[in-house]
Amino acid sequence: MKSLKTINLSLDNNILDCLDNIAFEFLDSDLVKEYKRLNKIVEEKYLKEIMLFNNAKEQLLEASKYKHDLSSEQAALSRTKEVLFSKDEVKLLKEKEAEIQRELDKLSNDISSHLSNKFRKKRII
C-alpha cells in the first residue's frame, strides 16, 4: 500500500506537470507569437525612438536624486514617450501586451480557483 506522503508527492507532480503544460501551451499560443512578432518589428524599426525614451527615463531618474525641479526632464520624457507610443506598431504591441495580461490574470484565477478547491477537499477528508 502506498503511503500518504507518496500519494501527495504523486499528486503534486501531476499538478506541476499540468501547470508546465499550460505554460508551454500559453507560450506557444497565437497571441504570444503575434506579440513576439510585433515586438521584433518595433525593436528593429524604432530603435532610435526606444533609445531616446530610455535615455529620457534614465535622465529623469538621475536628476531626481539631486534636483527638486524636474520639469525639463519630465517634459523630455513626455515628448519621447509621445513620439514612441504614437507609432501604429507600438500601439498594437501595447494592445497585445494588455491582452496577454488579461489572459494571464484569467489563467491565474482559474488555476488558483481549481487548486484551492482541491486543497480544501484534502483538508476535510
Determine the pLDDT at residue 4.
41
pTM: 0.76
Q: Is 93 exposed, middle or buried (0-12, 13-18, 19+ CB in 10 A)?
A: buried
Q: Evaluate if residue 120 carries a pLDDT over 80.
A: no
Higher pLDDT, 58 or 118: 58
> How far, in Å, CA of 32 to CA of 36, rounded?
6
Judge contact between 120 and 62, C-beta under 8 A.
no
> How far, in Å, CA of 56 to CA of 44, rounded?
20
Largest CA-CA distance found in the chain, in angstroms, rounded: 73
Lowest mean pLDDT segment, chosen from 81-85, 89-93, 105-109: 105-109
**Residue that is written with C-alpha cell 507609432 in the block:** 87
- How sure is the predictor about 119, in pLDDT bands with cuts at 50, 70 and 90? low
